[in-house]
C-alpha cells in the first residue's frame, strides 16, 4: 500500500534518526539499555571485604572513605552520604530552612524527586521554565516571573498570588549539563533566595571549572543504578558550611546524641544513612570515575558527529562555560519533526535501542496540577522534542 508523503514523513524521520544512532551503536551490540552500570574495578573486592569483616550496615570505614573521595572530587568542604539522592535533597531543603507551607521554586522539566523532596518538607513546589541552551532553570525567566509575583514582606519574600513564603530555588543540572550558574546566582542573590542544587545527574560536571553542587548553600547527589556512578542506591549532601555539614550528618543519622552506650536523640531525625556495603561499591566506582567520564565524553562526540548531517534533529551539546558529564545523551527534534517523536521512540525501541522522551512536566502530574507555576513555553517545547539515547560508558 502506498502512503502519501505527509503520512510517510514520520517514518522517514525515524529512519534517518535510527541510521544516525546506528553509526554510534552498531546492530552487533544487540539490545542496549539507556544507562547501565559497569563493574570493572575493585567493586567485588570491596563488597566482599564488608561481608568478610561483618561491617555491612550503618557504620564502617567505606562510608568515611566514600565521603572523603567525594569531598576530593567535588571540592566541597563537607560531604554526607545518604541512602539515596531524594533523601539527600529532602534534608538539604530542611537545612536551607524550608518549612511547611513554604513555596520552593523548581524547574517543571525535572525528575519527580525534585518536586517530591519539596513536598516531603510540607512545602509546595512552584514550577518555573527552562532555558533552551542548558535545559535547566532559566535565570531570565525566573527573574521575570519573580518580578510579577514576588513581594517583600519584612524579612520574607512572599508570592502575592498565594500568600506563601518563597523559601528557596532548586536548579537541576539536566542530564549532566550545568545550568547558567552566574545568571542564576545573580537573580537569587537579588531576591535573597537560597539555592539548593539538585546535582543528582551531574557528578563530574563543572561550570567555569568548579564542580556542580558547589554553588548553592547545599546540594544533593545521587548514586542510583542508572547514574554515572552507582552504589546500588545512594546519595550525598554537599555543603561548604561547617555547621550545615554537621547538622546534615546529625539529621541523616536519626539525630542521635553521641555517647558510648546511651541511645538518645535530640530532634526528629531520619534514618537516611548509606550502608557500608553500598559505600564499598561506591568507593570502587569512584576510582573509575575519570575513565567513565572520558568514555562518556567520547560517546557524546560520536553522537554529535553522527547527528551533524541529520536535518531532523540536533544533538544536545554541553552549554558554554561548562564541562558536562554527558550523563544521558539527548537529541532535540526540529520543530517540524516534533510530531514524529513517538514514531521515532517506537522505531528505536523496536530496534533494541532503549530511548525515551524527557520527563513529563511536573504540573501535568495529578499531585502537582494545582501547584503554582510560571508560564512554561520552553519546558513545553523541550518536552515535545527531546529524546534520550543509550548512554552507557560501555558503548565506547
Ligand atoms: C536520580 C535523581 C534524583 C535522586 O534520585 P534517587 O533515585 O533518590 O537517588 C533526584 N533528582 C534528579 C533530577 C535525579 O535525576
Report the separation in Å between the CA atom of 85 and the middle of ligand 1, taken as the mean of its atom positions: 5
Question: Are the C-beta atoms of 17 and 312 separated by less than 8 Å?
Answer: yes
Q: 263 alpha carbon to ligand 1 midpoint, in Å?
A: 32
Residue 111, ligand 1, Cβ within 6 A: yes
Measured between alpha carbons, how far is 327 from 324 in angstroms, rounded to an integer? Answer: 8
Q: In whole angstroms, what is the distance from residue 271 CA to residue 252 CA?
A: 6
The string over 23-61, giving b where at least 16 C-beta atoms fall within 10 Å of a residue's C-beta and e elsewhere, is ebbeeeeeebebbbbbeebbbeebbebbeeeebeeeebe
Q: Do residues 228 and 175 make contact, with C-beta atoms less than 8 angstroms apart?
A: no
**For the chain, the helix, strand and coil percentages under 3-state DSSP, each to the nearest 5:** 45, 20, 40
**C-alpha to C-alpha distances, 118 to 146, 181, 214, nearest whole angstrom:** 19, 21, 20
Chain-wide mean pLDDT for the chain? Answer: 96
The answer to whether the CB of 198 is under 6 A from ligand 1 is yes
- Determine the pLDDT at residue 59: 82
Instruction: Tell me the whole-structure pTM to 2 decimals.
Output: 0.96
What would the pLDDT profile of 292-347 be if each residue is shown by its tens digit?
Answer: 999 999 999 999 999 999 999 999 999 999 999 999 999 999 999 999 999 999 99
- For residue 379, what is its C-alpha cell? 519546558
Residue nearest to atom 5 of ligand 1 (CA): 85
Q: Is the CB of 319 under 6 A from ligand 1?
A: no
8 pLDDT above the threshold of 60: no
Residues 225-260 have pLDDT tens digits of: 999 999 999 999 999 999 999 999 999 999 999 999
Give the three-state DSSP class for 212: coil
pLDDT per position as a tens digit, 38-84: 999 999 999 999 999 999 888 889 999 999 999 999 999 999 999 99
User: 28 CA to middle of ligand 1, Å?
Assistant: 32
The pick from 198, 199, 228 for probing ligand 1's pocket by mutation, whose C-beta has the most ligand atoms within 8 angstroms, reads: 198
86 lines ligand 1 (CB under 6 A): yes
Q: Is 84 in the pocket of ligand 1 (CB under 6 A)?
A: yes
Query: Taking the CB of residue 110, how many other CB atoms lie within 10 A of it?
Result: 27
312 lines ligand 1 (CB under 6 A): no
Distances (CA, A) of 212 to 128, 207, 357: 20, 7, 25
Q: Does residue 53 sit in helix, strand or coil?
A: helix
**Is the CB of residue 109 below 6 angstroms from any atom belonging to ligand 1?**
no
Whole-number Å distance, alpha carbon 107 to ligand 1 midpoint, is: 14
The pLDDT assigned to 5 comes to 43
Give residue 58's pLDDT. Answer: 80
Distance (Å, rounded) from C-alpha 285 to C-alpha 303?
25
Amino acid at each position: 500500500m502506498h502512503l502519501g508523503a505527509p503520512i510517510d514523513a514520520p517514518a522517514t524521520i525515524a529512519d534517518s534518526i535510527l541510521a544516525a544512532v546506528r553509526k554510534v551503536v552498531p546492530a552487533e551490540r544487540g539490545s542496549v539499555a539507556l544507562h547501565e552500570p559497569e563493574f570493572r574495578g575493585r567493586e567485588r573486592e570491596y563488597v566482599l571485604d564488608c561481608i568478610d569483616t561483618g561491617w555491612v550496615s550503618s557504620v564502617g570505614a567505606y562510608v568515611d572513605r566514600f565521603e572523603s573521595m567525594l569531598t576530593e572530587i567535588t571540592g566541597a568542604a563537607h560531604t554526607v552520604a545518604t541512602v539515596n539522592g531524594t533523601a539527600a535533597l529532602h534534608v538539604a531543603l530542611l537545612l536551607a530552612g524550608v518549612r511547611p507551607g513554604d513555596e520552593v521554586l523548581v524547574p517543571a522539566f525535572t525528575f519527580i524527586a525534585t518536586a517530591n523532596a519539596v513536598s516531603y518538607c510540607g512545602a509546595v513546589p512552584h514550577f518555573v521554565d527552562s532555558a533552551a541552551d542548558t535545559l535547566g532553570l532559566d535565570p531570565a525567566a525566573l527573574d521575570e516571573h519573580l518580578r510579577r509575583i514576588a513581594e517583600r514582606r519584612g524579612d520574607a519574600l512572599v508570592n502575592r498570588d498565594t500568600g506563601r513564603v518563597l523559601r528557596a530555588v532548586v536548579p537541576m543540572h539536566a542530564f549532566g549539563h550545568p545550568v547558567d550558574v552566574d545568571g542564576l546566582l545573580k537573580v537569587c542573590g537579588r531576591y535573597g533566595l537560597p539555592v539548593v542544587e539538585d546535582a543528582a545527574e551531574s557528578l563530574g560536571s563543572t561550570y567555569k571549572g568548579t564542580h556542580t553542587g558547589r554553588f548553592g548553600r547545599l546540594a544533593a547527589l545521587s548514586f542510583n543504578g542508572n547514574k554515572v556512578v552507582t552504589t546500588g542506591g545512594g546519595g550525598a549532601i554537599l555543603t561548604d558550611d561547617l555547621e550545615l555539614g554537621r547538622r546534615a550528618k546529625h539529621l541523616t543519622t536519626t539525630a542521635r546524641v553521641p555517647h558510648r552506650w546511651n541511645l538518645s536523640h535530640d530532634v526528629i531525625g531520619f534514618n537516611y544513612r548509606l550502608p557500608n556495603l553500598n559505600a564499598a561499591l561506591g568507593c570502587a566506582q569512584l576510582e573509575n570515575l575519570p575513565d567513565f567520564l572520558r568514555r562518556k565524553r567520547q560517546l557524546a562526540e560520536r553522537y554529535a558527529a553522527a547527528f551533524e548531517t541529520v536535518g531532523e534533529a540536533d544533538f544536545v551539546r554541553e552549554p558554554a562555560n561548562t564541562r558536562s558529564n554527558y550523563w544521558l545523551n539527548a537529541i532535540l527534534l526540529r520543530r517540524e519533526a516534533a510530531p514524529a517523536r513517538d514514531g521515532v521512540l517506537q522505531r528505536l525501541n523496536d530496534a533494541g535501542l532503549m530511548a525515551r522522551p524527557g520527563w513529563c512536566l511536573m504540573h501535568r502530574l495529578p499531585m502537582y496540577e494545582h501547584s503554582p507555576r510560571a508560564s512554561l513555553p520552553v519546558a513545553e517545547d523541550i518536552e515535545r522534542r527531546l529524546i534520550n539515547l543509550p548512554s552507557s560508558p560501555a558503548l565506547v
